[in-house]
Amino acid sequence: MSTSRRVDTPTVRESGMGAAAPTTVIDSDVHERLSGTDVLLPYLAKPWHSYVTDYDFKSGYIKGGFPYALKGGDRLDWSTKYGPAAVSVEAMRHHLFEESDTSLAILNGFFHFSAMAASFEFATALASAYNDWQIAEWLDKEPRLRGSVHVVAADPASAVREIDRVAAHPGMVQVFMPTVGDRQYGDPYYHPIYEAAARHDLVVTFHHGAPTPTLLGYPRYFAEWHVLAAPQAAMSQLTSLVFNGVLDRFDGLKFLFLECSLGWLPWHMRRMDENLREFSTEVPWVRRLPSEAVRASVRLSTQPMGELKPSEYKRLVEELETDELFLFSSDYPHYDADDAAKTFPESLPDAMREAVLFRNALATFPRLSGVTA
Amino acid sequence: MRYEVCKSVDLSRGEMRGVVLGRTPIVVLRTPVGDVGAVADRCPHRGAKLSGGVLEETVASDGIGEVRMSGEFHVRCPWHRFQFDASDGICGVDRRQRVRVFPATEEDGMVVVEAG
């Protein structure tokens, strides 16, 4: 691993969308993908090799088995000139930086080590291997990429060691944890992870995955899971962070929820405010109204925006009384990936458009402070 | 306008009493440590009469998971349990939700409230 290598901070390039248009796009939700778990073997500590080579452990559906045969999959019209989307830096570079207007992309992978319900030492070794693979195969090859420190949240001590080790690479901008349904991230048990993230100027980022159930478990159809899993998990974990005092205790830290939809947020903030007023005796350590804490510390990525028209986005921002909460994301390489220019067209006010396309990301990630807008 | 609301001895520690001074509904109270106070008898949230609620000591915290009694008191609304500090009328961390507080004293054995 080459943690001492410097990643050149790119000047975010012109998008070519005209003088009046925003000039940059920062994509906060991009997935790189292993072509197979054996790709990690050169980075995986030797004692764990047989788990992959002999016992057939595979990345992907870590817990319980994702029950759906039909899934969304990747966008069908991304060229395969450089092989399958998301598997190589060449393909990603082509799709994001050449075929679209992306200036900077933040990786978070598909491999949710924190969702493993057992074998935590193996999970920790896998997370380390994955982080080293991500650095060697992605961050060190493409200066417009930024990375995630993958950890095993169930073992905070190991997670902190991994953050301390990998954060030395300047391309790392966030600690990644999946929005699982069986742990509450507001629990003080996880404070060491947040302390480590704050110490290294990293954001703490959450994203659902196949191991994320809905409140009904895995519904009968993928379409149901795809509607519910992400927002339900995000609402639950956000509520946990708020009422367990995490946002107050770590008030300089940003928490980013990816791909969990947006429309529920105003209702959710009001509902949390109401319940704090009603039950403040139960949680007297909560120092601010949840809506104030969310505005200060929490951000959401925008994709999927398929159901939200630009005019509806504008109304949503107006209802929240701030345009600082949302960060553009494509969700590359998925079938429902959003295109920046089409999702946030010039019909939106310039300031609102620039905020979501890149300014909010620059304000959220301390490690993007050197990026020139 | 100053009103003599009741005899001091008739307002017990921990008691709240709804009165109308002029045209203003007011809750007159005596905290468990003996101080008198007065707040408007209408919750700014949904309009409930606060005199139907309870007077309680406020729970405070010095850190996550830690609770202690604060030595300060609040009026808890009977409807949604919002709590309004008896001395400044503020609803917990929400400074926008606030009930009006009226000056209350004891003079010559009487509870006196300035209202109107």
A63: DSSP letter: S
pLDDT of amino acid A26: 97
- pLDDT at residue B116, rounded to an integer: 76
Predicted interface score ipTM higher than 0.95: no
C-alpha span between B26 and A298 (Å, rounded): 41
* Mutation to test the A interface, candidates B56, B64, B90, B95, most A Cβ within 10 Å: B64
Best mutation target, B58, B93, B95, B96, to test chain A (most A CBs within 10 A)? B93
Q: Please give the pLDDT value at position B3.
A: 97
HEC readout, A289-346: CHHHHHHHHEEEECCCCCCCCHHHHHHHHHHHCCCCCEECCCCECECCCCCHHHHCCC
Token representation of residue A57: 């452990």
Cα pseudo-dihedral A64, A67, A71, A74, rounded to 10: 30
Using the structure block, give the residue that is written with the tokens 């310039």.
Answer: A350
Mean pLDDT (10-residue bins), chain B, 116 residues: 97 97 97 98 97 97 97 97 97 95 98 94
Q: For residues B103-115, b (16+ Cβ closer than 10 Å) or e, as one string?
A: ebeeeeebbbbeb
CA distance B106 to chain A (A): 30
Coil, helix or strand for A271?
A: helix
Kindly determine whether residue B93 and residue A287, on different chains, have CB atoms separated by under 8 Å.
Answer: yes
What is the Cα–Cα distance from A242 to A276, expressed in whole angstroms?
10
CB contact under 8 A, B64 and A188: yes
CA closest to A287 among chain B residues = B93
Residue of A nearest to B60 (CA): A284
Q: What sections of A47-102 are H helices per DSSP?
A: 49-53, 89-92
Cα atoms in the 13 Å half-sphere on the side-chain side of A254: 25
Q: A26 - beta bridge partners? A: A104
DSSP codes, A184-239 = -TTSGGGHHHHHHHHHTT-EEEEE--TT--BTTBS-SSHHHHHHHHHHHHHHHHHH
Question: How far is residue A225's CA from residue A60's CA, in Å, rounded to a whole number?
Answer: 17
pLDDT of residue A53: 92
**pLDDT number for residue A59:** 65
CA A34 – CA A253 distance, rounded (Å): 30
User: What six digits make up the tokens of A102?
Assistant: 């992306």
Spans in chain A with pLDDT lower than 70: 1-23, 59-65, 373
Contact B93 A278 (CB under 8 A): no
Alpha helices for A3-144 (secondary structure H): 49-53, 89-92, 120-134
Q: Is B80 on the interface with A (CB under 8 A)?
A: yes
The number of CA neighbours under 13 Å toward the Cβ of A72 is: 17
Q: Are A12 and A373 in contact (CB under 8 A)?
A: yes
pLDDT at A62: 55
